[in-house]
Structures are given as C-alpha cells and as structure tokens.
A and B are shown apart, each in its own frame.
Chain A
Amino acid sequence: MRLLVPRGRFLERTVEGLHAGLEMALDAENSAAAGGLLQPLDARVKVVGLFSLILAAALAKRLWVIAAIFALACALAALSHVSFRVLAARVWIGALAFTGAIAVPSLFLTPGDALCHVPGLRWTITAQGFATASYLLLRVETAATLAVLLVFTTRWMQVLKALRIFHVPLVLVAVLGMASRYILLLLESAHEMFESRKSRAVGALAGAARRRVAVASAGVLLGRTLELSGDVYLAMQARGFRGEVHLLDDFTMKRLDWVALAGFAALATAGVWAGR
C-alpha cells in the first residue's frame, strides 16, 4: 500500500522510498515464482536466450530491428505477467533519464543535416545526431528490459547457478550473490534507522537539518551494513559455503525448453541478419 506523504516531509518520504525498495526486491522473487511464459523455462535457456537477444540489439545497425526486439521484449513481459507499470517505473524511466543525459548532447553536437532548431536557442538538431541518440536510447531500453525480464522471471539463486554452468568465474558469481544480500541488508538497515529517526522527530525538518541527517545517516549506515554483511558472510561460511552455488532443483531440459531455446536462437539470428 502506498502511503500519502505531504511534500517536504523528508523522513517520511525516505522511509517510504526504502520501503518501496524492499518491496521491489521481494517482488522480483515473487514474480519469479509466479506462472507465466518465461517462468517455467530452464534458467540456462533464459540466460542464453535473453542475452542472445541483447547481443542482437547491440549489433543491429537498423533502428526498426532494435525496435522490433524491444517490442518482442514487451510481449514476453506481458506473457510472463510482468506489468508495464513495473517496467516503466523501475526500468524505462531510469534508463531514459540516465542514458538521456548522455544522448541529448549528441543531438546538437553530431555534425550533419539540420533537422530542426530549438526555439529561442541557436541550437540545431541534426538528423545524424537524432539517429545516434535514438540508437543509444533504444538499445539501452531494450537491453535493460531483457535483463530485468531474466531477473523477474527467474529466482536469483538459479540465475547465479546458470552463470556458473556457463563458466562465469566463481569469484564474480560469489560477488553477485553477496551484492544482492548486501543491498537487502542496506535497505533494511536504512529503513529501520529512518523509522527510528522518524519516531523521535516532530514536524518537518529545515533544509540544513535534512542535509545533516542525510550525511550523518549515510556514514552510520555504511558502517552498520558493512559489519552486518561481514557477519552474513561468516554465517554462510559456518554452514559450509565455499563460493559455489548449490541448489535443490536440478536443471533439466524439457521439451518446452528445447522449443524455447530454438525460438530464441531463431529470433536472435533473424535480428542479427536483418540488422546487419
């Protein structure tokens, strides 16, 4: 449930943001366990299939091919019950803002044929600049959507195990595994810290006070979560963890997996061929 928080209530908004972050982490696991097109597939098929589509999007030199792969990613999301609202809030807007900051200057700085002028400014958007920015934005949105689809339709431990099967180094997989746990601990610790701060605060904080709270909390939080994540690692070691990922469910290729693998291979090959 979303809390209604008045503007300017720094602590309340921070607590709400952290709560949303925790919910997001849990949503990914819940969504991976739910039914849908991609969920029942073998994790290895999803890793290979979705990454081959990312590769096809990265190699494509035609905008319509990248757009088609993006449309395919959206269709896969819809059929796997991953909502567009979630994708928009957690992937598309963020990727657009981040990549947009890099892509926008290229609209004006890339030499070429004038497409239009920015009213009030003497800046000219060139056709070549527009194409460069469009390629970059669409490639990033497509790659991010496909990568997030993997996470939203596959349990995280299965993703890690699949990476090990493809000989991704043990150190990298162990770091990925620890990183996800560290992020969860960081969110939980921050949530508790800001809730405790909120329980002792009355009224809205002034700008300077907000900044002081944020800076002081960041330092304490870092120390606390580093200690906690160190303890988590010790607890894993104490139960025999040596970096390798072991799961109860064995990966077994069923008929559906072979069909899906062939489908991914055909689509990725078609994408590379059409986009060359």
Chain B
Amino acid sequence: MMLFETARLTYRYDRLTALEDLSLAIAEGSRVALVGANGSGKSTLLRILDGLYFAQAGTVRFRGEELTEARFADDAFAFSFRRQVGLVFQNPDVQLFNPTVFDEVAFGPLQLDWSKSEVRERVGAALDRFGIAHLRDRVPHRLSGGEKKRVALASVLVLDPAVLLLDEPTAALDPRSQSQVIDLLVEWGGGAKSVITATHNLADIEDIADRCLVLDGGRVVADGPPAEILRDRDLLERTNLVHAHRHKHRSGELHSHPHVH
C-alpha cells in the first residue's frame, strides 16, 4: 500500500490553478523532494497531503484512506492522522503563536493528549536536540530567523511523526543555519521515516531525497533520482530552476551559463 496516492488532483485559488490533473504515488519510507519554481504548486500539494486543503477535483489517499473534509470531522481519525503526519511551514512566523518557546514545542503534544509527564520529558529532549534549550522561556517571534526555524522544526518533530512534510526548510536562512537544518533532517529518523520536502534549493536535494519530482504549472513534469534530474539541464532551464548569470571562475574568467550552486 502506498503512503500517499493522488489521482487527477486539481486545486484552484479563485481563477488561479495551482494544481492540475496531478497524479502521483509516494511509497512508505521514501524521501522525496518536490522541486519547482515559485508558484509551481509545491506548497499547495503539501497542504493537500496534510489534509489542510481539499482539492476541487480528484482524490488523495493516505495509506489507502481517502482524505476528505468529512473524514477530518471525525476526531479519532483527525488525531490519528495528525499523530502520524507533521508539516513544517515555509514561514516560521505562522507556526509560532505561543508565549514561550517551551509552550510552542509543547503545543502539539498537548493537543494530541499526551500525558503531562511525557510532554515535559519529550519537549525537554527536543529543545536539547535542536540546541534551543537556552531559548525555552523566550518569546518565539522575537528570535532570529535561524532560531525561529529550529523552534518550528522542533515543534513538529517533537511529535516524532512517521511522515514529515517540509515546505522550503532552508528558505531565508544564513548558510550555517541552512547546513544545521539539513544535518538535522538527514539524522532524523535514521532513514526509517518518510520525508517529503518542497524546495527550490537544488544544492540540498541529493542530501535530503532519493526521489525527485519536478513540478511546473501544477503538474509533475519529471520524476527520477536527484542525480538524474540535476543532470537534465534542459529540464531545469525549462522549469526555471536554473538560470544563467555572470560569475567569475578561479581562473579569473568572467562569463555566464546555467548552473547549480
């Protein structure tokens, strides 16, 4: 049985079509990168897979069960799904709404009715693991961008979900914070979990994925191993994932050609 299966999925924002006739299947335990330029439908797809948006046409199934609004009205199903699937939003500010970092990380476990002692223990461990224990009493929205991202990740990973959905996990981070986030994701779950990452940072995808889906205009236009996708320069140029810009080589030569950093 597949982890996620979508069939002829179409999602529109008023007149703008975000996803069109999209069919794909994602196996259990896989690490998938959804790559595409801005507006290609990556974030919308993640929100549909997390049962936050519901498509106007087509179906989406999680472990064989169709995800519909009616299904999420059932508390037992909603709790079970939220326990298994976690989503980290692109903008950490939308995910940080509690008065302290500790409360923020404890929010999910409390919603899922864990025992108080387990919440305290797991939240403490998550704060240590993400190197944010010293921030536990700070107000989340006053942290730096990198700290906010780590708190946002901790607030989802504390639930230890079997499936992790990530929307641009390294967007707007400095190089050191980017590398820390990637290391955390690579280490997380020891490869036994399913991770679906939306990104347009091609430099990361070989580290975080073993399958790459390229989205363009709300459709999957390529599907394959990251190395194969990265070699297809025509595809990357066509989907606006690489561009030509002027840069200097070590030899001192200054020229422009499409390339991946």
Contact = CB atoms under 8 A, between A and B. Distances in A.
A157 B111 contact: no
A157 B97 contact: no
Contacts of A181: 97
Interface string B78-91: 11001100110101
Interface string B108-140: 101111001001100000000000000000010
Interface string B147-176: 000000001100100000000000000000
Contact of B111 (A26, A232, A246): A246
A155 interface: yes
Interface string A192-231: 0000000000000000000000000000000000001001
Interface in A225-249: 228, 231-232, 234-242, 244, 246-248
A232 B108 contact: no
Contacts of A231: 89, 91, 94
Contact of A239 (B82, B93, B113): B82
B5 interface: no
Interface string B197-227: 0000000000000000000000000000000
Nearest to B165: A238
Interface residues of B, number: 34
A246 B99 contact: no
- Residues of A in contact with B, size category: 20 to 34
B112 A240 contact: yes
A135 to B, nearest CB: 38
Interface of A: 26, 29, 155-157, 181, 184, 188, 228, 231-232, 234-242, 244, 246-248, 250
Given A228-B94, A240-B83, A241-B107, 10 more contacts: A232-B95, A232-B97, A235-B97, A236-B97, A238-B86, A239-B82, A239-B159, A240-B108, A242-B78, A248-B116
Q: Sort A-B residue pairs by CB-CB distance and give the 10 closest, nearest first.
A: A240-B111, A239-B108, A246-B110, A231-B94, A240-B82, A235-B95, A238-B87, A240-B112, A234-B52, A29-B99
18 contacts: A157-B99, A228-B94, A231-B91, A232-B97, A234-B89, A236-B107, A238-B82, A238-B87, A238-B156, A239-B82, A239-B107, A239-B159, A240-B78, A240-B79, A240-B108, A241-B111, A244-B111, A247-B110
